[in-house]
A and B are shown apart, each in its own frame.
Chain A
Amino acid sequence: MSETLEKKFGFTINPSRLIDYDTSDRKVREYVTLKEPSFKLCFACGGCTATCTAGQHISFNLRRMNNLIRRGEIAPLREEVTRCMLCGKCLLVCPRGVNTRNVVAVAAEAIRKLERNEL
């Protein structure tokens, strides 16, 4: 879609800011906010990402994951949630008291439910 936009108007939209309503799926976000309300408290400071154990090995990024959930980008999210080790470091550094471990667990559950058509 972004390619056609470029051709038509001759300017670019930063791809990371693009929300494609055709592929966006809000069900996961709704499920996560319902099961772990503290998810709404996140102000994307990135403390969790800085301390992440998995993030020292690969480019796993909890902050990006939060964005993916919010934007309903399920395809990349499916890959992202499998990488967390649930070690809980992010929980301790979070200044907003977001239950980050559970956000990952609930997101994984939501994706599983989505695949089973239960959401």
Chain B
Amino acid sequence: MNSEHFVFPFNLGLYFILIYSVVRSTIWFRNLSRSDKLRLQRGFFGLPFMQSIREIFMESLLHRRIFKRNPVLGYMHMSLAFGWFLLIVFGTIEADFFSARHLNPPSHSIFFRWYNPEHGASGFPAVFSFWMDLLLAFILSGLLLAMVKRFIPGMMGMKKTTKHTWTDRITLLSLWLIFPSRLMAESFTCGAHGSGSFLTGSLGATLASVLPAADIAPYFWWLYSLALGTFFILLPVSRYFHIPVELFLIFMRNSGIRTGDKSSSYTEVQTNACSSCGICISTCQMSYAAGINDIQSAYFVKGLRNERDIAAITANCLMCGRCEEVCPVGIELGPMRLIERRQDRKNFEPLTFPEGYALTRKRGFMERPTTQSYNYLVNDNPVVQADVLFFAGCMTHLTPSIIVAMKKIMNSAGVRYHFMDEEGGVCCGRPLMLAGRDKEARELINHNSDLIWKSGAKILVTSCPICYKVFNESYYLETRVMHHSEFINLLIEEGSLRLGYLHRKVVYHDPCELGRGSGIYEEPRAVINYVADLQKSQHEKNMALCCGGSLGNLTLASGKRSMIAADAARSLTASSPDELITACPLCKKTLGQATETKVTDIAELVAAALPTTPAKAKARIKKVLAKTENNG
């Protein structure tokens, strides 16, 4: 056996993956829209390039975001990524420094110990050998953790790990084999030649004392090379393709490219940049509160990549956005799911194994034919001019107490308003959009926009975060759109609202569409702090829980919804507050059914803090006086 031949699998794999990555990236770049191409070109010669380098170092190598989540999980990822990176860098330096020739082929540094078995016996080379052994030990420690995580995910703060496809499993196996086989190969070679540092040297000496080290070493070098080669060749059809793709994604994102509302090569890059780490799975409330473990973003993206029929997965999501907040790669999972919901396809042909290497994908954009039509809507009501428009929204009509409270507040502040949908309005269009029916939603948007434009209003107040998000993002209005919590905050700041202080301990629940969806966190808190004693809860702001009632999910059964609601309510009322405050009629309804604690809308809380009117106060004093007279 000519042992020098073992470099062949490694070389084959390495050059294959290098060429493949470059070709694939070029195709992605070519398929970008013109404006995105310009963004990328401008980014390359500007600040975004430097930002990307920094982000690649912090996230792809050090895995800072995962560290923040769980230190052990972060260490595991860092040791493998950063450790391997350092091993390659210092391996190259070592090979360049201590070889006769400079600019060696990559295989020379990877199999350095084989070519220089006597290296590192004393002096500076010994220090270098020590350093290389330390790096290998660093990686092996991470590998050990990774193996433990497969079997005991709870140890690293993970509730669940991702279920993988068979190509992923083989690739994982080859990745796991790389470093132990390197350790064994180096140890045997060092053992045979009496070299090596604390790890390879001592292990090698021990092995050499009982085994014919010089004869065994080539087998392990073969194993090492084969593991590397297999890993590189399977990379494009496994989840580990995220390693090269993520670099491209970071650069694209820093250049200002966003997902938008159509599938593009950016969505394809995001699909391939997913590492299936499973952090989205353990964050998902549908997983830990309702026991649904096959619809999470990791599986959605995996199905997208392998062109599986994922219609059921796509529809079955609350669209709460918690997974997007924790995704270490920063994939825009919400918009990607919405894009998929807009499509309508039949006859799926799942990608078979060799098709995974295809440079372009079959999965194209196929628009769903319109199913709804609202030509029956007519604007024949007389136009009412007003400065402030109040749009309650469908859901608020189911919680009339919020409407009563809003009327009370606005009357008390002397706001001249027009109640737009008092006699029943038209849906804002957001639920249709969440169901992937954007065209139909446009009809409703046009209808409502017409009413708003004609009123000439300066401010449009809505008490439903679902409406708020769509008014803000999808309507073309010159009117300032405000959620009622923002509006009440404005009234308080202006001084037009006189409020008492309620001695109640309350907890605030961030509605998904208002918090993560629209970034409104501070205004509701300011209002609540003004009238009551606001306490902290377990999940705040961008990590707030979903109440489970979300209209984002079309297919979730009501029993599962109740399970999510009960879990969220339990977490929110852990500190046993007097009241649970929300700013969304849908959350109020859903949470109200799930907890004994009183669930109040922010408007109701503020209305309760309004001073009682003089007439009412007089009547009450009369009653009390009459009572005391009777007693006397």
Residues of A within 8 A of B (CB): 36, 38, 51, 53-54, 56-58, 81-89, 92-94, 97-99, 101-102, 105, 108-109, 112, 116, 118
B426-A99 in contact (CB<8A): no
Cα(A81)–Cα(B370), bound, Å: 12
Main SS of the interface on chain B?
loop
> A92's contact among B369, B398, B554, by CB below 8 Å, is which?
B398
A102 partner residues in chain B, CB cutoff 8 A: 554-555
A108-B371 in contact (CB<8A): yes
CB distance from A32 to the nearest CB of B (A): 13
A112-B376 in contact (CB<8A): no
Instruction: Known contacts A57-B377, A58-B376, A112-B369; decide if A88 and B558 are in contact (CB<8 Å).
Output: no
A83-B376 in contact (CB<8A): yes
Cα(A56)–Cα(B423), bound, Å: 9
Instruction: Tell whether B395 is near chain A: CB-to-CB under 8 Å.
Output: yes
15 contacts between A and B (CB under 8 A): A36-B555, A58-B376, A81-B371, A83-B374, A85-B426, A88-B395, A89-B395, A89-B397, A92-B589, A98-B558, A99-B554, A99-B558, A101-B431, A101-B554, A108-B372
> Per-position contact with A for B431-460: 1 when CB-CB < 8 Å, else 0?
110010100000010000000000000000
A92 partner residues in chain B, CB cutoff 8 A: 395, 398, 549, 586, 589
CB distance from B552 to the nearest CB of A (A): 10
B423 partner residues in chain A, CB cutoff 8 A: 56
A89 partner residues in chain B, CB cutoff 8 A: 394-395, 397-398
8 pairs of A and B residues whose beta carbons are closest in the complex: A97-B558, A56-B424, A87-B427, A85-B427, A108-B371, A87-B394, A58-B376, A88-B551
CB distance from A83 to the nearest CB of B (A): 7
Instruction: State the interface size on chain B (CB cutoff 8 A).
Output: 32
Instruction: Tell whether B373 is near chain A: CB-to-CB under 8 Å.
Output: yes
> Per-position contact with A for B340-355: 1 when CB-CB < 8 Å, else 0?
0000001000000000
B555 partner residues in chain A, CB cutoff 8 A: 36, 99, 102
CB distance from B594 to the nearest CB of A (A): 13
CB distance from B34 to the nearest CB of A (A): 35
A82 partner residues in chain B, CB cutoff 8 A: 371-373
B426 partner residues in chain A, CB cutoff 8 A: 53, 57, 85
Instruction: Known contacts A84-B372, A89-B394; decide if A97 and B559 are in contact (CB<8 Å).
Output: yes
Instruction: Tell whether B210 is near chain A: CB-to-CB under 8 Å.
Output: no
